[in-house]
């Protein structure tokens, strides 16, 4: 087994050790949850780099389920940590929901739900079918299923994640509230179909 493959498996094991049940998470304070969330991102960055190098050395790795397995584990862990952090936000936000005018700008930057999105470091997607399951799962968890975000905000976040061929898919759509679902469906239809076709060879 190559060094890169061993390294990837080690990172996956580290990821699987992240606490994800409610009892463990509820015992953590805000600071510890935040640190663990940052650690998840570091593990993901290392894994993506390692797996990409491994796939360049051995193209057969493109046919394995390694990325999907990592993505599923990563999403479960990040979703659990994010949910626990968000449980702390409503009570904290309620005391600052109507701040004095001179304090309002700082509250908007720090306290609004959508301010947490940059911290979650949404992945970029350029159109590679091997990256689609990971990107789709993460984007749905962090943005698409967030009821506190408007469709216009979701569309803006979606566009900020896309590059290359993926961006070309929705480039012609104006940034409007009603176009978000159209853009999202276009991406799903194109890349899910492409993924299916390529896997069939």
Same-domain pairing of 102 and 201: no
Contact 76, 41 (CB under 8 A): no
- 106 and 126 in a single domain? The answer is no
Last-in-domain residue among 84, 115, 146: 115
Residues 110 and 147 both lie in one domain: no
User: Above pLDDT 70, what percent of the chain?
Assistant: 79
> Are 89 and 182 in a shared domain?
no
Same domain, residue pair 95 and 3: yes
Cα separation, 16 vs 87, whole angstroms: 23
Cα gap 81→137, rounded to integer Å: 16
Both 11 and 93 in one domain: the answer is yes
Query: In this predicted structure, what is the pLDDT of residue 1?
Result: 58
Alpha-carbon distance of 143 to 153, in angstroms, equals 9
Which domain-ending residue is among 115, 130, 159?
115
Same domain flag for 131 and 188: yes
128 and 63, same domain (yes or no) = no
Are 31 and 110 found together in one domain? yes
Q: So what's the pLDDT on residue 112? A: 43
Distance CA(116)–CA(141), nearest Å, equals: 13
Number of domains in the chain: 2
Domain span at 80: 1-115
Instruction: Give dist(CA 85, CA 34) in Å, integer.
Output: 8
Model pLDDT, residue 114? 45
pLDDT at 122: 75
Same domain for 103 and 182, yes or no, is: no
> What pLDDT score was predicted for residue 182?
93
3-state secondary structure of 191: helix
Q: Are 131 and 51 spatial neighbours (Cβ–Cβ below 8 Å)?
A: no
Which domain-ending residue is among 99, 115, 131? Answer: 115
Give the chain's residues under pLDDT 50.
91-118, 196-201
Which residues, in sequence order, are CB contacts of 43 under 8 Å at separation 6+? Answer: 11, 14, 15, 74
- Same domain assignment for residues 154 and 89: no
């Amino acid at each position: 087994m190559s060094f890169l493959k061993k390294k990837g498996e080690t990172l996956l094991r580290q990821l699987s050790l992240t606490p994800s049940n409610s009892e463990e998470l509820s015992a953590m304070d805000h600071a510890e949850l935040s640190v663990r969330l940052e650690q998840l991102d570091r593990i993901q960055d290392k894994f993506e780099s390692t797996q990409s190098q491994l796939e360049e050395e051995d193209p057969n790795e493109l046919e394995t389920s390694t990325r999907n397995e990592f993505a599923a584990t990563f999403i479960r862990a990040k979703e659990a940590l994010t949910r626990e952090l968000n449980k702390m936000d409503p009570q904290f936000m309620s005391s600052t929901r109507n701040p004095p005018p001179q304090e309002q700008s700082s509250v908007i930057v720090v306290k609004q739900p959508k301010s947490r999105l940059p911290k979650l470091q949404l992945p970029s997607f350029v159109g590679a079918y091997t990256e689609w399951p990971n990107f789709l799962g993460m984007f749905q968890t962090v943005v698409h299923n967030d009821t506190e975000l408007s469709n216009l905000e979701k569309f803006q976040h979606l566009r900020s994640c896309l590059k290359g061929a993926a961006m070309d898919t929705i480039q012609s759509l104006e940034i409007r509230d009603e176009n978000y679902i159209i853009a999202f469906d276009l991406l799903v239809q194109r890349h899910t179909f492409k993924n299916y076709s390529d896997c069939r060879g």
